[in-house]
């Protein structure tokens, strides 16, 4: 099962992403714990794409692809921004970064997904969630 969304870079469009996650996870009998991980990581990725990638420019779009394959779910989020270098995002758990407001999203996504991979440009993230069903 594949669900694709092409949304304008507006925060209110997070609702469409949430609805898509709800529909797919509901149909696939995904456990509540995994549903929470998938939802939070995906909304964080889309939020980052809208705000940081596309600079909240409503003329730019974010593409979200949700692929359900057997007992895993793969979510890919791509924006039209110039990208970033994930390795340069400060670790929010280090003492010197505790007060910083940036870097928490990427950290959170990496903790919630079983695998996370950014493209070379840094404007697309692919998150894999394994063993998701009851």
- What is the Rg, in whole angstroms, of the alpha carbon atoms belonging to the chain? 14
The H-or-E segment that residue 77 falls in is strand 72-78
Average pLDDT, the chain: 91
Domain ranges in the chain are 2-130
Please report which confidence band the pLDDT of residue 102 belongs to, taking 50, 70 and 90 as the band edges.
low
pLDDT in tens, 73-90: 999 999 999 999 887 776
| Reported pTM | 0.92
H-only helix segments in 28-87: 32-48
Tens digit of each residue's pLDDT (9 = 90 or more) over 11-41: 999 999 999 999 999 888 899 999 999 999 9
| pLDDT for position 101 | 61
Look at the domain 2-130 and name its fold: Heat Shock Protein 90 (3.30.565)
């Amino acid at each position: 099962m594949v669900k694709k969304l092409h949304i304008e870079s507006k925060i209110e469009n997070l609702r469409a992403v949430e609805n898509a996650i709800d529909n797919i996870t509901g149909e696939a009998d995904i456990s509540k714990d995994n549903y929470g991980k998938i939802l939070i990581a995906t909304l964080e990725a889309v939020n980052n794409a809208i705000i940081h990638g596309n600079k909240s420019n409503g003329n730019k779009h974010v593409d979200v692809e949700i692929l359900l394959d057997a007992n895993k779910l793969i979510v890919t989020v791509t924006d039209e921004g110039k990208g970033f270098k994930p390795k340069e995002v400060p670790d929010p758990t280090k003492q010197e970064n505790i007060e910083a407001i940036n870097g928490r999203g990427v950290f959170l996504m990496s903790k919630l997904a079983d695998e996370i991979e950014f493209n070379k440009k840094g404007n697309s993230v692919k998150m894999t969630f394994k063993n998701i069903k009851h």
